[in-house]
């Protein structure tokens, strides 16, 4: 056992100590604490807190420490929000960027509307929950303070689903979205043959637990009610497993920043548009070209756009922007560009935007590191960073969303 002084937090939320000139990370430890830990390589297992930090608080979840979903419930709100902001500041600094970064906007508990549970069995007992940190072991949950009640209400259905499938070597992925119409459940890890074998029991299960829709192995098994979400007053029918911002509160914060960043632009390109989180709002004042690689998301956005009234036109286009980004000449005529790529970022697309004459750019990202890389490209191309807003929609995790507003000149 080794005694360690915790100097700070690593980017994954673990306590950071120095041991003979090498970094050691201790999960559950906080800056300023003196702890005893079993050290192996760069990891330390917390054994005892010898001198606790004044910032240490009691976690609110009974599963905290076993479930791998949250890592920082033991940190007080103010230093926690500062940690989220610091993730962004440090990522930008790694690329030689030092703009003002606003305090993190933190969503309240009980606001996450989508989650992926793991389902497995112990003998004949179905277990549904989340996996341990750095493990495949499923920790069954009855409570989850980050989730909306509608998600937790699906747990009996998910356990019944897991029991129906039976024993498997790997856990099922049970993705649930709380929609305006009820729970939309998508099951991964089964084959088409499994669907054929279980079709009637699955349909019965969806009716018994009042699921809006149940999709398995890429197929809609039953849609009892169209799973609709409302985006800025417009009804959008979600595709199975379709991407949706995890928190409605965070979506509203990010969307407000995006709309403000675009300002008075009359023609906007919304790249990696998804089902229209930003496009539908931008269409209040601008003509929008929305590009997205997922065909189902494009179809959902196009359907929603055709049904809206009192807004400008949205042209939805299916396009793999990683392979076919909008090049310089295609960006001519746009007053603003918004892009919200996956975690890998938009390196190629940012390069073309940097060569364009587009006046305003709003970048949204769930990965500060790849965002910082893309912002560096834009700054080198003549843009100035006007605003950086961290948005913490993944409460008590080590992840953070960011909205950055840039302007040419």
Q: Which residues belong to the active site?
A: 366
Label the pairing between strands 182-188 and 213-216. parallel
Dump the DSSP string for 34-99.
Answer: EEEEEEETTEEEEEEEEE--TTB---S-TTBTTBSS-S-TTB-HHHHHHHHHHHHHHHHHHTT---
Residues 313/283, Cβ–Cβ less than 8 Å: yes
* Half-sphere exposure of residue 106: CA atoms within 13 angstroms, side-chain side: 19
Helix or strand or coil: residue 157? helix
Binding-site residues for S-adenosyl-L-methionine, in ranges, read 245, 272, 292, 340
Element (H, E) at 7: strand 2-9
Tell me the C-alpha distance between 243 and 294, whole Å: 10
Q: Any idea what DSSP says for residue 303?
A: H
DSSP classification of residue 342: -
Return d(Cα 401, Cα 351) in angstroms, integer.
22
CA distances from 110 to 82, 139, 230, 244, 393 (A): 21, 20, 19, 17, 11
For residues 176 and 115, the answer to whether their CB atoms sit within 8 Å is: yes
| Terminal-to-terminal C-alpha distance of the chain | 57
Q: How are strands ordered across the β-sheet holding 138-140? A: 138-140, 125-131, 114-122, 172-179, 182-188, 213-216, 219-223
Q: Could you tell me which of 209, 180, 328, 135 has the C-alpha nearest to residue 337?
A: 328
Tokens at 264, concatenated: 């008075």
Question: Which residue pairs from 163-168 have beta carbons closer than 8 angstroms and sit at least 24 positions apart in sequence?
Answer: 163/121, 163/124, 163/126, 164/198, 164/201, 164/202, 164/205, 165/119, 165/190, 165/194, 165/198, 166/121, 167/121, 168/120, 168/121
Binding residues: 245, 272, 292, 340
Rounded to the nearest 5 degrees, what angle is found at the Cα of 119, between the Cα atoms of 114 and 125? 135
CA–centroid distance for 252 within its chain: 14
């Amino acid at each position: 056992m080794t005694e360690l002084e915790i100097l700070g937090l690593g980017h994954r939320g673990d306590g950071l100590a120095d041991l003979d000139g090498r970094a050691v990370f201790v999960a559950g430890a906080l800056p300023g604490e003196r702890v005893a830990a079993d050290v192996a390589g760069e990891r330390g297992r917390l054994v005892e807190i010898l001198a606790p930090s004044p910032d240490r608080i009691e976690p609110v979840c009974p599963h905290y420490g076993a479930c791998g979903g949250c890592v920082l419930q033991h940190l007080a709100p103010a230093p926690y929000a500062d940690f989220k902001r610091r993730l962004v500041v440090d990522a930008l600094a790694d690329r030689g960027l030092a703009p003002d970064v606003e305090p993190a906007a933190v969503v309240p508990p009980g606001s996450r509307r989508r989650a992926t549970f793991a389902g497995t069995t112990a003998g004949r007992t179905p277990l549904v929950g989340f996996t341990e940190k750095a493990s495949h072991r499923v920790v069954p949950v009855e409570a989850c303070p980050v989730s909306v009640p509608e998600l937790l209400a699906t747990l009996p259905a998910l356990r019944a689903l897991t029991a129906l499938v039976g024993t498997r070597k790997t856990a099922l992925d049970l993705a649930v979205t709380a929609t305006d119409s009820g729970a939309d459940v998508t099951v991964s890890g089964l084959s088409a043959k499994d669907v054929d074998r279980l079709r009637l029991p699955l349909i019965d299960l969806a009716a018994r637990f009042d699921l809006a829709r149940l999709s398995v192995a890429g197929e809609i098994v039953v849609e009892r009610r169209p799973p609709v979400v409302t985006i800025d007053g417009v009804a959008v029918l979600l595709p199975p497993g379709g991407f949706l911002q995890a928190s409605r509160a965070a979506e509203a914060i990010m969307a407000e920043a995006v709309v403000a960043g675009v300002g008075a632009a009359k023609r906007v390109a919304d790249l990696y548009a998804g089902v229209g989180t930003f496009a539908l709002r931008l269409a209040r004042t601008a003509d929008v070209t929305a590009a997205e690689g997922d065909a189902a998301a494009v179809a959902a956005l196009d359907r929603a756009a055709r049904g809206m009234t009192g807004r400008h036109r949205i042209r939805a286009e299916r396009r793999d922007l990683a392979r076919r980004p909008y090049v310089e000449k295609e960006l001519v005529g746009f007053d603003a560009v918004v892009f919200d790529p996956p975690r890998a970022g938009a390196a190629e697309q940012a390069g073309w935007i940097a060569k364009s004459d587009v006046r305003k750019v709003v970048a949204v990202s769930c990965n500060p590191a790849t965002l910082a890389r893309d912002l560096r490209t834009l700054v080198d191309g003549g843009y100035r960073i006007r605003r950086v807003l961290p948005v913490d929609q993944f409460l008590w995790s080590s992840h953070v969303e960011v909205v950055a507003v840039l302007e040419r000149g």
